[in-house]
Structure 1
Amino acid sequence: MAVDRMLPTQDAEDLIALVREIADRELATRVEEHESTETYPEGLFGILGQAGLLSLPYPEEFGGGGQPYEVYLQVLEELAARWAAIAVATSVHTLACHPLYTFGTDEQKQRWLPDMLAGAMVGGYSLSEPQAGSDAASLNCKAELTPDGYRITGTKAWITHGGRADFYSLFARTAPGSKGVSCFLAPGTAEGLSFGAPERKMGLQAVPTTAAYWDGAVLETDRLIGTEGQGLQIAFSALDGGRLGIAACATGLAQAALDAAVDYANERTTFGKKIIDHQGLGFMLADMAAAVDSARATYLDAARRRDAGRPFSRQASVAKLVATDAAMKVTTDAVQVLGGYGYTRDFPVERYMREAKITQIFEGTNQIQRLVISRGLSH
């Protein structure tokens, strides 16, 4: 079921129509094959890049789409409703472009940003480490300044598109303490950089998630983004937008599960009537619909605040928390609506349920979101 969206302009209406057409043609027709065989969809991100879908919230000056976040997030939701892994990777790419666009010099932006936004280069975000997930300030990967550049040594973890991305926004330690983390724009082909085998995940299997091993790779000094010690500021400023991206992806996933459950409930009959007409199940579907609509409202509220230049960090955490918890509940309930069939791979709802779980974990666990929200309430 196509969502009846309230979009700000006719251009945005046309964009969503285009996205639905591309998503139906390129994503919906391929998702089952690649997710079931755990194979990478070669060429797909090039198609999305050529359509301008990898650059939407960035200015046209650098080849971006010049769209407000309110519109960009609704595009992500449409992609996620067809293929969650692709939508998440698109969100991560947008996240990976943020440090360069926001903190890079004019020369750095002119050099790298156009290819990144055109989709000629797909990005990854490399902040987490095996022992430093939610506690980013405790990361250990080192960047030592040498006459040849910054020598990177250490291990990074949980990298979406790891081993496949063309560049990584990399966070490494240049000095002790929380103010000793710096940000780099690292090429994916750096000598001394290798990747682990893809993680064996519950869902999102078509796009790899890997560890990265930096064994003395040297990055030129002009690949430092911002100043030394500014890394955590850069990371956290990017994560607010990233959390909204995951909220939108979770909402699209929940919408897909709701649609599948409603379709089934309108076709299946028991005791002489459609099961949607049994009040117990009809009320469950009503709660699912309310959860999806509420999730969408929270991410749109935060996005509109961002677009207006107002503080939105707390609202981003609220959106991420509400939307991903909703996705977990709605996808679980969709399996219940389909009964035994929902537990089989003949219907997509079991995949939706597996995919929903990770949305409560990455871009800051939902426990971290509650911490951010509660701190925002203290005086």
Structure 2
Amino acid sequence: MAFRRRAKSHPLFSQEFLIHNHADIGFCLVLIVLIALMFEVTAKTAFLFILPQYNISVPTTDGELVQYHYGLKDLVTILFYIFIAIILHAVVQEYALDKINRRLHLSKVKHSKFNESGQLVVFHLTSLIWCLYVVVTEGYISNPQSLWENYPHVYLPFQVKFFYLCQLAYWLHALPELYFQKVRKEDIPRQLQCIALYLVHIAGAYLLNLTRLGLILLLLQYLAEFFFHMARLVYFTDENNEKLFNVWAVVFVVTKLFTLTLYILVIGFGLPRVENQALEPEKGNLFSFLFNHILFRMSVLLLVCLFQASVMWRFIHFQLRRWREYWHEQSSRKRAAACAKQPAKPLKRDSGYHENGVVKAENGTSLRTKKLKSP
């Protein structure tokens, strides 16, 4: 981490220098922003990086409530938390995963997958607890109708907006980490696809003012992903232990069923009941205005259903292949065990016994040997 001793120094501004010191560089940039908070001249600019912007006071029966909406200044805040995510990534890698890897002595392929799953386990567990806290305190679980009531949800509580900004920052930080962590070329397309899907879904929920639905869906998604990557970590430590994969399979199916049900409930039945909203870009409902049209809603719902169906198909195909390999391995073990238990056939010997290297008959006389013709 920052200011630690290194066994080997690299030329300044070289590629190896950037890779080995990217966390320290990010730490210095974050430190500059924090120091800027101490001076009145730069404090206002520094707050753009740290705190969410576009706050507004909404009158309520109890007084005024400060809420937020999105805008271009959010990109500055996201940039700051990208550096925070890079620093935390390096801390987890150096002080946890690298120490475990030294004990396990994994191959290069398993080493890369272990690091990937280790990072995602920490992230998914943290996001899972944080997301659960938000949906419980905001009452989205106790009152499911709040997922579509008073749509579009232009104004967000502080913790909801901050959660979305941090989520976007984490998945954006994963792009340069592919370079910093020297990910194998074979794994880059798969990881880019995963990062792109998360960014599209999270940014889509944020810009289309579907943040309440997005929180519930992220909660379900992170729950399944946590069990999957946890099962991979357990498998790398003990290849005979695959029980957690069975738990992940059950959780995956249940969460996907809930996900599809929520999509149909909110987009198919909940949003059509909301009164049509006029197009008012100054209020931030520029994109959510599209959901007033049934053609757009049904197109989004169809795309979501097709995507979830493709995910389920890949999952079923993976499980069938895994079960075939399992039963093939079990049948091979049974055949090997049966062959080991089968008694060996006795060799057919000449009658009599051996004495001084000569075969004797039972009466003691030597057996007549055939003469061999010389070639």
TM-score by length of 1: 0.26
Taking CA–CA contacts closer than 8 Å with sequence separation of 6 or more, which of the two structures ends up with the larger relative contact order? 1
Higher alpha-carbon Rg: 2
Relative to total residues, which structure has the larger strand share, 1 or 2? Answer: 1
TM-score by length of 2: 0.26
Relative to total residues, which structure has the larger helix share, 1 or 2? Answer: 2
